[in-house]
Amino acid sequence: MGIEIERKFLLSGESWRTHAVGCRYRQGYICTGAGRTVRVRTVEQKGYLTIKGPSTGPAKLEFEYEIPVEEADELLADLCETPLIDKMRYTVDYRGFTWEIDEFYGDNQGLLIAEIELDNLDQDVDLPDWVGEEVTGDHRYFNASLVKNPYAKWKDDK
């Protein structure tokens, strides 16, 4: 069984960019509801199918499988809800952890989220100075929510 423990943060600075390495992601959702999702994703020339369970705080069940990129492209085009998520994902190493920073495009333009995966719920993490407000429990920032309610529709109401 795969369990993902992840914390999410908004960014408070741009200094992370000097150490960032990124690649383009496209993803969509075949199914979302009752806290469960079935996601299709392409990363460069690879495709993935991911099934996630409901969140319990920062933890959730997650199962991910590599699939042929041609099949992922077809699923994104024909079966996924729109708009698709289009983003650049950067990785930044900081004090023994790898941070993932998502810079969104399209209907989610302007949104930047930093995520860190942990080994256990009690794990201590030194936060970099470019990390701001924690939004781990705020469902608006879940990618599956950004399909149904893109950032462009609510960013001015925050």
Residue 91 confidence (pLDDT) above 70: yes
**pLDDT tens profile 12-52:** 999 999 989 999 999 999 999 888 999 999 999 999 999 99
Angular region, 154: left φ>0, alpha ψ -120 to 50, beta rest: alpha
pTM of the model: 0.91
**pLDDT tens profile 17-27:** 998 999 999 99
Average confidence (pLDDT) over 131-147: 94
Query: Residue 66: its pLDDT value, please?
Result: 98
Choosing from 29, 90, 141, 151, the catalytic residue is 29
CA 52 remoteness from chain centre: 12
Respond yes or no: is residue 29 known to be catalytic.
yes
Could you check whether the bond before residue 58 is cis, i.e. omega within 30 degrees of 0? no
Q: Give percent above pLDDT 70 in the chain.
A: 97
Q: What is the C-alpha to C-alpha distance for residues 12 and 130, in angstroms, rounded to an integer?
A: 5
Query: Residue 58: its pLDDT value, please?
Result: 83
Q: How many helices (H) and strands (E) does the chain have?
A: 3, 9
Structural domains for the chain: 3-157 (2.40.320.10)
8 A C-beta contact, residue 10 and residue 133: yes
